[in-house]
A and B are shown apart, each in its own frame.
Chain A
């Protein structure tokens, strides 16, 4: 199959269509506007439905309703928009409805700015919804990986009957890279949905009696049992969905921990540090929840410093320290507000941290 040069946002939308997305709901927000734009003209051609909602709150609740009927549903937004969607995501977790959501993140807090940021790390890994719920989150480093993840996450969401989040950022959404698009799966017809998803509300013609999707459980014991059932799924997710990528850990004096766009800058910083005689490596978490604690067991004896490199004030640092377990020093290299550092800045700050931890 041949590659096409596509803008990230358009490729992400196309990936969802090819995965068999039946409904897309969205509300415009930079830097992901090419997604609803693309969906508005391409999704109907594939037999799906596009709807621009009146707000992110409306979009996520429309998605909840549509997904309850068992079809594949995709939503996308950017940071402050995801904050508005949090309530709905909690409801969807409780109701055990599959959904794929993409956050093309930008700087915050508040409306913040529109340049790339990773300040949603805590928002996506801990959630802004109430209650005991978890959402698997994947952070791709490039357009191809993001396309592949979106395509796969529809399967994951259905297997776990839970929302799945993908965290990209403004740079990934706006840039172009060659991408190989996966084949069209087609939209699943209703009769097949009712066979494969007996829980789905497909109408009493296709299932016995009423199917009810809800998140209200008034009796504490009943709710506790329900949450325990959710957590059996989350325990399985920790086993099955933990993903990471390790780069040059052998003999590394310093190891970066970075995801998404920041991991690409660190990859170049590793080359530049190598030219200066310093061996550096990287652990790139692909799943942010579950966080790849196990990756840190691969740290070499040569490593004396682990650096969490992030486009925020150090939101991943807690997870990194928790995974390192005091085995080596942990430092932070960060910029925020939409500022992306150069690989040279990362090199200089790494040298300084190495000096300080001698």
Chain B
């Protein structure tokens, strides 16, 4: 079992956090993981992406040549990274911010209107949690219960009041 995943969006969309949630949950399930962000002189609104590898065996390289799962949060990410997906792999698109369709027909494509759904739930910022639920349902890379635990750890203290809403967002496409 080895998942090579790539998450792309813009700063502030929670793209890196999505990848981290999966990496942390997988680690707590006893799997080997690496999480590698792009870094540079970046800011809110700039590009943000990360590579996550989850495996049963030690991971030699945290960089990937192609992705089994690609998650795109905005249009520039789709245009730039669509070619990365392994034939037969999975592309998950945040259709709220991506007005175009995927151009490939040799991969599985799933469109999730994440920002619209998050706004309906009362907080646009939860779009990444909505995507996360869909990713987990489609890939089974980690178990829902492990992610619930991670979510509870992430939203503690002053952030605890955001937990119920994020849990709702996560659950929307999880089951």
* Interface stretch (choices A123-131, A229-237, A263-271): A263-271
**Could you say which interface size class chain A belongs to?**
20 to 34
Known: A343-B63, A343-B65. A3 touches B36 (CB 8 A): no
Q: B61 in the interface, Cβ–Cβ < 8 Å?
A: yes
By CB atoms of chain B within 10 A, which of A175, A340, A344 has the most? A175
* Interface stretch (choices B19-27, B119-127, B129-137, B140-148): B19-27
Kindly list chain A residues whose C-beta atoms are within 8 Å of the C-beta of B63: 264-265, 340, 342-343
Q: A174 in the interface, Cβ–Cβ < 8 Å?
A: yes
Which A residue's beta carbon lies closest to that of B51? A175
Interchain Cβ contacts under 8 Å between A and B, 16 examples = A5-B20, A5-B23, A31-B39, A114-B40, A115-B40, A171-B62, A174-B36, A175-B34, A175-B35, A175-B36, A176-B20, A177-B33, A264-B60, A264-B63, A268-B60, A343-B65
Query: Do A178 and B39 touch (CB < 8 A)?
Result: no
CA–CA, A344 and B65, complex, Å: 7
CA–CA, A271 and B60, complex, Å: 9
Query: Do A175 and B62 touch (CB < 8 A)?
Result: yes
Kindly list chain A residues whose C-beta atoms are within 8 Å of the C-beta of B37: 174-175
Q: A170 in the interface, Cβ–Cβ < 8 Å?
A: yes
Kindly list chain A residues whose C-beta atoms are within 8 Å of the C-beta of B23: 5, 176
Chain A contact residues, majority secondary structure: mixed
Which A residue's beta carbon lies closest to that of B19? A176
Report the minimal beta-carbon distance from A335 to chain B, rounded to whole angstroms: 12
Chain B residues engaging chain A, CB cutoff 8 angstroms: 20, 23-24, 27, 32-37, 39-41, 60-63, 65
Further pairs besides A342-B65, A343-B61: 4, Cβ < 8 Å: A5-B24, A175-B34, A264-B63, A344-B65
CA–CA, A267 and B61, complex, Å: 7
Chain B contact residues, majority secondary structure: mixed
CA–CA, A170 and B36, complex, Å: 11
Which A residue's beta carbon lies closest to that of B61? A268
- Using an 8 Å CB-CB cutoff, how does the interface string of A152-177 with B read, 1 for contact, 0 for none? 00000000000000000011001111
By CB atoms of chain B within 10 A, which of A176, A177, A271 has the most? A176
CA–CA, A268 and B57, complex, Å: 13
CA–CA, A271 and B37, complex, Å: 24
By CB atoms of chain A within 10 A, which of B40, B62, B65 has the most? B62
CA–CA, A218 and B20, complex, Å: 58
CA–CA, A3 and B27, complex, Å: 8
Kindly list chain A residues whose C-beta atoms are within 8 Å of the C-beta of B33: 5, 176-178
Which B residue's beta carbon lies closest to that of A177? B34
Kindly list chain B residues whose C-beta atoms are within 8 Å of the C-beta of A268: 60-61
Kindly list chain A residues whose C-beta atoms are within 8 Å of the C-beta of B34: 175-177
Query: Do A176 and B60 touch (CB < 8 A)?
Result: no
By CB atoms of chain A within 10 A, which of B32, B37, B63 has the most? B63
The 7 A-B pairs at the shortest CB distance, nearest first, are namely: A267-B60, A268-B61, A176-B35, A175-B36, A264-B61, A178-B27, A268-B60
Known: A5-B24, A268-B60. A178 touches B65 (CB 8 A): no
Report the minimal beta-carbon distance from A58 to chain B, rounded to whole angstroms: 25
CA–CA, A178 and B31, complex, Å: 10
Known: A5-B20, A5-B24, A114-B41. A178 touches B61 (CB 8 A): no
CA–CA, A176 and B54, complex, Å: 12
CA–CA, A217 and B62, complex, Å: 50
- Using an 8 Å CB-CB cutoff, how does the interface string of A340-358 with B read, 1 for contact, 0 for none? 1011100000000000000
Report the minimal beta-carbon distance from B30 to chain A, rounded to whole angstroms: 9
Partner of B32, one of A114, A178, A265, A343: A178
CA–CA, A74 and B45, complex, Å: 36
Kindly list chain A residues whose C-beta atoms are within 8 Å of the C-beta of B61: 264-265, 267-268, 343
